[in-house]
Amino acid sequence: MQKEIRFVTADEAVKVVKSGDHIHFSSVASAPKVLIDALCRRGDAGELKDVKIHHLHTEGAAPYTDEKYEGIFFHQAFFVGGNVRKNVQAGYADYIPIFLSETQKLYRSGVLPCDVAMIQVSTPDKHGYVSLGTSVDATLAAIECARCVIAVVNKNVPRAWGDAMIPVSMIDMFVEDNNLLEPAHFSEPDEIETAIGKNCAALIEDGATLQMGIGAIPNAVLAQLGNHKNLGIHTEMFADGVLPLVEKGVINGAAKTIDKGKMVSTFLMGSQQCYDFIDDNPMVLMKDVGYTNDPFIIAKNPKVTAINSALQVDLTGQVCADSLGTKFYSGVGGQIDFVYGASMSEGGKAIIAMPSVTKKGISKIAPVLTPGAGVVTTRNHIHWFVTEYGAVNLYGKSLQERAKLMISIAHPEYREELDRAAFERFGPHFHFVAK
């Protein structure tokens, strides 16, 4: 017998939140905006204090991190997105460093309580199921562990398959809101990003299973793959860049060992076209992040090619991807999950790709990392390193060999300076002729 669904207002729903509670928000495009606004109204009324808020990256506004809510809400998210970055750096919000694969484990192990899960779902089907749509990630674990689950039922949430499908019996309260999901906007790749895309694409073999992050570089890579064959997707997220390759039959998952023929992801971040693509699409499996980002599951597919970016890399191959010195910029995310998984995959390739210089023209390849910078991918994990000037494989290379290889694809204006720094570090036996 199906559970009867009774809708309440957002303001009525958030009354279940008590001072001291831990709340989970569904992430990215699925952030439950109507509940967030209602929760902030309770904060404005002085009804709450010391409420901790957890989530992955969310799109849209994050007013609960504002200075005025100090002592009322305290954001402790698993990733620092652009909408909370300023307040995290100012100390009004915070960040929990964690591998993306283990975010679900925080809840399931009891390390992190979850009192109230606020999620967004599709309209119920005739079997009494709703879909989490564009974001499963750690939200499924939060639903399983929460004292109370509040779901925003939204006709614009796509009916995604896989772990996204949950019975309405797992939900305690229902709120209706039919606003469009928050889209993500990506700029077109510039000349440098296009060159990086070409260098990465040259490393991708037919039959590879792909993981790549967000932004212009992944889109530049995908734009170069039109003549490839039998590519697969096993990733933490994908966006619009994969759609033309699916339409052409380039991405078909035919060479995958597990989830053959399926595109596996844990969240999406793209346009409405991307969200429409997964609606009732059996080719797409939206899975728990404990599955998508498990390095040992990732490694089961052959030729896993993982492409991730960095903020700074030193001459020994230490990769900083989460901070600018002491200021946190993003988070660990799934980079090391996929770097390790790809490196264990038969024929796999783990790639770190970035422009050689910042927008201000400062070299992103540095003699040493900026003081306070966090090492996400260690010098022991790094394999391929790519800039617009080429691709080098650092795996199995000594420190001096690595330095020479990295300087060879640094910006030409900085090669002599980096050469001098390496000479000072490694002594007179180091010799690289900057070009």
Mention every residue, 6+ apart, whose C-beta is less than 8 A from residue 52: 21, 22, 23, 73, 74, 75, 76
How far is 259 from 252, CA to CA, in rounded Å?
11
Residue 261: count other Cβ atoms within 10 Å of its Cβ. 12
Burial label for 193, CB within 10 Å (0-12, 13-18, 19+), is buried
Contact 99, 75 (CB under 8 A): no
CA gyration radius, the chain = 22
For the question of residue 70 being annotated catalytic, the response is no
Residue 246 corresponds to which tokens in the numbers above? 């699916």
For residue 431, give the 3-state DSSP assignment: coil
CA angle at 193 for the pair 191 and 199, rounded to the nearest 5°: 105
CA angle 379, 383, 385 (to 5 degrees): 95
How many C-beta neighbours within 10 Å does residue 319 have? 28
Tokens, residue 256: 């995958």
Are residues 333 and 339 in contact, defined by beta-carbon separation less than 8 angstroms?
no
Burial of 110 (0-12, 13-18, 19+ CB in 10 A): exposed
Q: Is 422 left (phi over 0), alpha (psi -120 to 50) or beta?
A: alpha
CB 60 within 8 A of CB 295: no
Catalytic residue among 102, 193, 236, 388: 236
What's the rounded Cα separation, in Å, for the pair 260 and 148?
Answer: 36
Q: Is 220 left (phi over 0), alpha (psi -120 to 50) or beta?
A: alpha
Backbone angles phi, psi at 428, to 5 degrees: -65, -10
412-426 vs 399-408: helix crossing angle, rounded to 10:
170
Distance of CA 68 to the CA centre of its chain: 29
Rounded CA separation 424/89 (Å): 34
CA dihedral 140, 146, 152, 157 (to 10 degrees): 0
For the CA atoms of 360, 364, 370, 373, the dihedral, rounded to the nearest 10 degrees, stands at 110
Q: Which active-site residues does the annotation give?
A: 236
